[in-house]
């Protein structure tokens, strides 16, 4: 089947759309560029669909390449048959191609290869062609194959049976049929290695669940327990129907008969086929579970990165700790570090008076508007201290708790050393915590995505695939928001479409040497930023205050002339459109597109960009929740309704920060009244939600929350 046609059918797209995307990708265009500036060509496909096409295109091209390679290898062995060629041609997965190639793959010496070396292959063929033969007849035939290497008929028959068993276990039709049946009927059986030892895996010490119903997070959990030597995991199933199925597929006969051939197939199933398929099935399920976990991580990361920035505020950021003291940094609204300090108001020193003097001095000296506290060790004591200080001194400020995951990674990085060379490593963490409230995207891109802490089993999944997926998420987020060309760090610029790490550093070096960029066109003077890179990146780079206002919009330079003609047809300036004096309906835009010889999607985007030049799409997202007082778990009561912030979305629910040290869990069944397959259908990281406390366990520090049947507030 034509690859583009197949992808179109799989993704419910036209073949023409897929062909256009494939061509654009092959020409070197980036996904963000295609999604934003080639809408007419793709039929307005978004980044998600484009990446789906790219993924399937890569897979199917690899499949075709492997198919041709296997055809060549089998042909070179002079073992190609019409049946094998037909099976290869119709194979739709790499798994099936590898199944077909398995008997022809070079392998280590096995019992079967040793038997072949002894010249017993013809006896194996005879045994397969006599499915109803009894043992006496088989031994009589085997007597014809005695040699120096084969001493008696029993040894000859045993060798032939080894060959048949291996041929059966490697037969692609047998493997496909048995694998499908086994996957649909087996159960995962879990037991404890040491039942008397308590562990976090206690719930799985005597556990069994149908394979087809086991959710990804549970599969990854038992896999981890197995790797750590705590759990024993196996597949439970009935052998007999699978042996009968293998018999039918291998011999192409009906009900099995007693005799050497059936005994051979039965033994081969238990020794070769079943263990091999168990490994394959578990590996395939693990890959699917990992893919699911990576997808959830990507969704959470996207929401975190696109969190609303806090504008025009001076922040006091606190990286809490015990023995080494709380590191503090005052950060201006542009992210500049204004002051730093270390205070010991947490245990064991508990220097409340000294801490109060330091904090009050910083607040008054710099006009601090808000306090940001990391959620690590000492967070709750720091929150208590700040809340009490606000109340006692009636300070006109509030505080918020921020996930500090990755701050220590950034602090020790070469990038942090270059950005904050004058600060000690320990103080850089406080700067990172504060800046991720001022602008989450700009700060979090400096940290390896998997260290940000919004995933599930992220250390158990394929790290290469995780890295690639999360990079794509960050790339999409950065380009959807746009980047200030004159303030962006190399880390942020490196995610702009078409900008490599080297070019990102060159942009900053050019800016340092020549001053702020005055126009997008000036980018062409940056070393190693050629015409192709300029085409890809220019539309995503903004220059606030540029002489040409279009340089601060998502309008691509290739469309400046069209934007000018649009304004001329409206007899309006950019400021007129932004002020709302030239409002156009979709029908009017369609007419104008025809008159101007432009595509409707492009003209629509130009018009929307002119209406809100310099707009940040994150402005419409709720910002962080700031508080002035603090709750303890002991203050909570079942039935209380509280406002919280979603910190993480996982397969079985979502963790919500309600203002106490321990996040509460909203189980998937408590998110809404209707059935949902995954919490992400209703919730995203950063959502501000109303919840009610359903259950409390103070000893285990667990809070059960619900979002159902809430009283209106």
Residues 178-207 as b or e (16 or more Cβ within 10 Å = b): bbebbbebbbbbbebeeeeeeeebeebbeb
- Does residue 389 belong to any structural domain of this protein? yes
Task: Classify 229 as helix, strand or coil.
Answer: coil
Residues 640 and 544 in one domain: no
Q: What is the CATH number of the domain that holds 594?
A: 1.10.150.310
Among residues 220, 360, 361, 201, the alpha carbon closest in space to that of 292 is found at 220
Domain CATH number, residue 664: 2.40.50.140
| b/e per residue 330-361 (b: at least 16 CB within 10 A) | bbbeebebbebbbbbbbeeeeeeeebbebbee
Alpha-carbon distance 353 to 358, whole Å?
A: 9
CATH number, position 36: 1.10.10.650
Distance (Å, whole) CA 260 – CA 157: 9
- 328 in helix, strand or coil? strand
Residues contacting 230, CB < 8 A, separation 6+: 192, 193, 194, 197, 199, 201
Q: Residue 250: pLDDT above 80?
A: yes
Residues 552 and 643 in one domain: no
Q: Kindly state the percentage of the chain with pLDDT values over 70.
A: 99
Domain boundary among 578, 595, 620: 620
The answer to whether residue 68 is domain-embedded is yes
For residue 630 the two structure tokens come to 């603090």
- Name the one residue in this structure whose structure tokens are 């049947």: 709
Residues 6+ positions from 699 with CB-CB distance below 8 Å: none
Helix or strand or coil: residue 691?
A: strand
- Residues 402-433: pLDDT tens digits? 889 889 999 999 999 999 999 999 999 999 99
What global pTM score does this model have?
0.85
Supply the mean pLDDT for the chain: 93
- Give the range of the structural domain holding residue 521, as residue numbers without chain letter: 508-620
Confidence category of residue 712, pLDDT binned at 50, 70, 90: low
Q: Are residues 588 and 647 in the same domain?
A: no
What pLDDT is attached to residue 1? 57
Same domain, 319 and 444: yes
Residue 617: both structure tokens together: 């799409």
Looking at the DSSP assignment, which residues form a beta bridge with residue 644? Answer: 689
Residues 35 and 73 in one domain: yes
Question: Of 81, 116, 150, which residue is a domain's last?
Answer: 81
**Could you tell me if 534 and 557 lie in one domain?**
yes
430 assigned to some structural domain: yes
Are 581 and 695 in the same domain? no
Residue pLDDT, tens place only, 95-140: 999 999 999 998 889 999 999 999 999 999 999 998 877 899 999 9
Write out the two tokens for 387. 């809340």
Tokens 């895996």 belong to residue: 201
By C-alpha distance, which of 499, 501, 450, 500 is closest to 473? 450
Within-domain flag for 460? no
**516-572 residue pLDDT tens:** 999 999 999 999 999 999 999 999 999 999 999 999 999 999 999 999 999 999 999
Given this model, what pLDDT does residue 460 score?
83
For the domain that residue 353 is a member of, what is the CATH number? Answer: 3.30.420.140
CB neighbour list of residue 420: distance below 8 Å, 6 or more residues apart: 337, 427, 428, 431
Same domain as 411, residue 338 = yes
How many domains is the chain partitioned into structurally?
Answer: 4
Does pLDDT of 198 surpass 80?
yes
How large is the average pLDDT for residues 240-247? 95
327 and 399 assigned to the same domain: yes
DSSP 179-218: HHHHHHH-EEEEEESSTTS--TTGGGTEEEEEGGG--HHH
| Residue 235, strand partner residues | 188
Q: Is the pLDDT of residue 50 over 90?
A: yes
Domain boundary among 430, 454, 478: 454
Bridge partners of 691, per DSSP, are 642
Q: 637 and 592 in one domain?
A: no
Q: Which helix (H) or strand (E) holds 503?
A: helix 501-514
Asked whether residue 208 is domain-assigned, the answer is no
Whether 416 and 360 share a structural domain:
yes
DSSP-assigned letter for residue 273: I
CA distance 458 to 229: 20
Does residue 468 form part of some domain?
no
Closest CA to 104 of 138, 132, 75: 75
CA distances 83 to 88, 93, 100, 248, 537, Å, are 9, 17, 10, 18, 51
How much of the chain, in percent, has pLDDT values that exceed 90? 79
Q: Does residue 544 belong to any structural domain of this protein?
A: yes
In this structure, is residue 73 part of a structural domain? Answer: yes
The two three-digit tokens of residue 170, written as one number: 């490697």
Residues 409 and 372 in one domain: yes
pLDDT tens for residues 131-167?
Answer: 877 899 999 999 999 999 999 999 999 999 999 999 9
């Amino acid at each position: 089947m034509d690859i583009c046609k197949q992808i179109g059918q799989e993704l419910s797209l036209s073949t023409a759309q897929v062909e256009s995307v494939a061509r654009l990708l092959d020409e070197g265009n980036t996904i963000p560029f295609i999604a934003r500036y080639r809408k007419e060509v793709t039929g307005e496909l978004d980044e998600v669909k484009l990446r789906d096409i790219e993924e399937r295109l890569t897979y199917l091209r690899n499949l075709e390449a492997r198919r041709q390679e296997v055809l060549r290898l089998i042909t070179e062995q002079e073992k190609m048959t019409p049946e094998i060629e037909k099976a290869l041609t119709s194979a739709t997965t790499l798994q099936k191609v590898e199944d077909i190639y398995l008997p022809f793959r070079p392998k280590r010496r096995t019992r079967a290869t040793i038997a072949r070396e002894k010249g017993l292959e013809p006896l194996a063929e005879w045994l397969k062609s006599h499915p109803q033969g009894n043992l006496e007849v088989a031994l009589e035939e085997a007597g014809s194959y005695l040699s120096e290497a084969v001493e008696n008929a029993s040894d000859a028959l045993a060798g032939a049976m080894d060959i048949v068993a291996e041929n059966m276990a490697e037969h692609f039709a047998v493997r496909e049929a048995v694998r499908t049946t086994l996957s649909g009927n087996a159960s995962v059986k879990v037991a404890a290695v040491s039942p008397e030892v308590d562990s976090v895996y206690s719930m799985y010490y005597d556990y069994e669940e149908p394979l087809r119903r086991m959710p990804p997070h549970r599969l990854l959990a038992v896999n981890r327990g197995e790797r750590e030597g705590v759990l024993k995991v196996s597949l439970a199933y009935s052998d007999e129907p699978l042996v009968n199925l293998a018999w039918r597929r291998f011999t192409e006969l009906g009900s099995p008969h007693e005799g050497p051939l059936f005994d051979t197939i039965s033994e081969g199933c238990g020794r070769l086929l079943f263990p091999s398929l168990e490994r394959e099935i578990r590996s395939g399920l693990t890959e699917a579970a990992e893919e699911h976990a990576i997808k959830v991580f990507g969704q959470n990361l996207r929401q975190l990165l696109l969190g609303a920035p806090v504008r025009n505020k001076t922040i006091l950021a606190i990286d809490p700790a015990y023995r080494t003291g709380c590191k503090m940094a005052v950060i201006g609204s542009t992210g500049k570090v204004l002051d730093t300090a270390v205070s010991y108001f947490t245990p064991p020193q508990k220097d409340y008076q000294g801490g109060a003097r330091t904090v009050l001095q910083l607040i008054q000296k710099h006009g601090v508007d808000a306090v940001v506290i990391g959620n690590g060790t000492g967070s709750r004591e720091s929150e208590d201290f700040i809340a009490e200080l606000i109340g006692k001194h009636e300070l006109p400020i509030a505080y918020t708790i921020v996930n500090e995951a990755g701050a220590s990674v950034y602090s020790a990085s070469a990038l942090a050393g270059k950005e904050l060379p004058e600060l000690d490593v320990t103080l850089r963490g406080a700067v990172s915590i504060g800046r991720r409230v001022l602008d989450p995207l700009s700060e979090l891109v400096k940290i390896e995505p998997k260290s940000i802490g919004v995933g599930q089993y992220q250390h158990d999944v394929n790290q290469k695939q995780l890295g690639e997926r999360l990079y794509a998420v960050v790339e999409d987020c950065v380009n959807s928001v746009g980047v200030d060309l004159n303030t962006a760090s190399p880390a942020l610029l490196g995610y702009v479409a078409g900008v490599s790490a080297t070019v990102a550093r060159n942009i900053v070096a050019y800016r340092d040497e020549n001053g702020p960029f005055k126009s997008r066109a000036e980018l062409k003077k940056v070393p190693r930023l050629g015409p192709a890179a300029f085409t890809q990146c220019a539309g995503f780079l903004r220059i606030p205050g540029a002489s040409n206002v279009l340089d601060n919009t998502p309008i691509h330079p290739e469309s400046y002339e069209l934007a000018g003609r649009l304004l001329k047809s409206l007899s309006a300036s950019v400021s007129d459109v932004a002020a709302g004096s030239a409002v156009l309906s979709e029908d009017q835009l369609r007419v104008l597109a025809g008159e101007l010889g432009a595509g409707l999607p492009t003209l629509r985007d130009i018009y929307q960009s002119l209406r809100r030049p310099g707009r940040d799409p994150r402005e419409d997202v709720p910002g962080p929740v700031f508080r002035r007082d603090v709750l303890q778990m002991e203050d909570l009561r079942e039935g209380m309704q509280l406002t919280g912030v979603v910190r993480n979305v996982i397969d079985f629910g979502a963790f919500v920060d309600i203002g106490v040290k321990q996040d509460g869990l909203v189980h998937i069944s408590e998110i809404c009244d209707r059935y949902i397959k995954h919490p992400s259908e209703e919730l995203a990281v950063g959502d501000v939600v109303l919840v009610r406390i359903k259950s409390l366990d103070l000893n285990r520090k667990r809070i059960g929350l619900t979002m159902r049947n809430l009283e209106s507030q």
